């Protein structure tokens, strides 16, 4: 398991992505999977940066773990911001035009569609959003 903590700010996304990419490269992860995970990181971390904390800001911890048989990477995003389950919102109706749909929700929908598993829990005063992607 590898872990890093970063300021919950949009400007931290490149460092978070580089940290995760470094772990994925050690696993000989395909470029396609790396890109899918990078998009998920961008969406999840930007939501933490924008909504988890008030103006005082805060931090988020990113934990990268691996599984074997089948080979997979599990990435957890942990913050102590306001409790919020992004998975609770219904998926957007993609048959509606952009002007007819509610604002928001497309990013987390994309994460749910590209990852093999997405799980949220609020525990010990922390939001924990975990994504899992097979890499084998």
Residues ≥6 apart with Cβ < 8 Å to 42 = 13, 17
pLDDT at 69: 86
Mean pLDDT computed over 22-31: 93
Mean pLDDT computed over 119-125: 98
pLDDT at 127: 98
pLDDT at 48: 96
pTM above 0.85, yes or no: yes
3-state secondary structure labels for all residues of the chain: CEEEEEECCHHHHHHHHHHHHHHHHHCCCCHHHHHHHHHHHHHHHHHHHHHHCCCCCCEEEEEEEEECCCCEEEEEEEECCCCCCCCCCCCCCCCCCCCCCCCCCHHHHHHHHHCCEEEEEEECCEEEEEEEEECC
Is 125's pLDDT higher than 90? yes
Delineate the domains of the chain, giving CATH numbers in brackets.
2-134 (3.30.565.10)
Q: What is the pLDDT of residues 42-72, one digit of tens each?
A: 999 999 999 999 888 999 999 999 999 889 9
pLDDT at 89: 80
């Amino acid at each position: 398991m590898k872990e890093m903590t970063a300021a919950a700010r949009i400007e931290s996304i490149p460092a978070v992505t580089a940290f995760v990419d470094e772990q994925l490269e050690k696993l000989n992860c395909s470029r396609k999977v790396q890109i899918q995970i990078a998009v998920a990181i961008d969406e999840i971390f930007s939501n933490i940066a924008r909504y988890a904390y008030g103006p005082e800001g805060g931090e988020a911890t990113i934990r990268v773990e691996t599984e074997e048989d089948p080979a997979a990477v599990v990435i957890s995003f942990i913050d102590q911001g306001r409790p919020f389950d992004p998975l609770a919102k219904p998926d957007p109706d993609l048959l509606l035009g952009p002007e007819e749909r509610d604002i928001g929700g497309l990013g987390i929908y994309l994460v749910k569609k590209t990852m093999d598993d997405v799980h949220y829990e609020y525990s010990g005063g922390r939001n924990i959003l975990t994504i899992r992607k097979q890499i084998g």
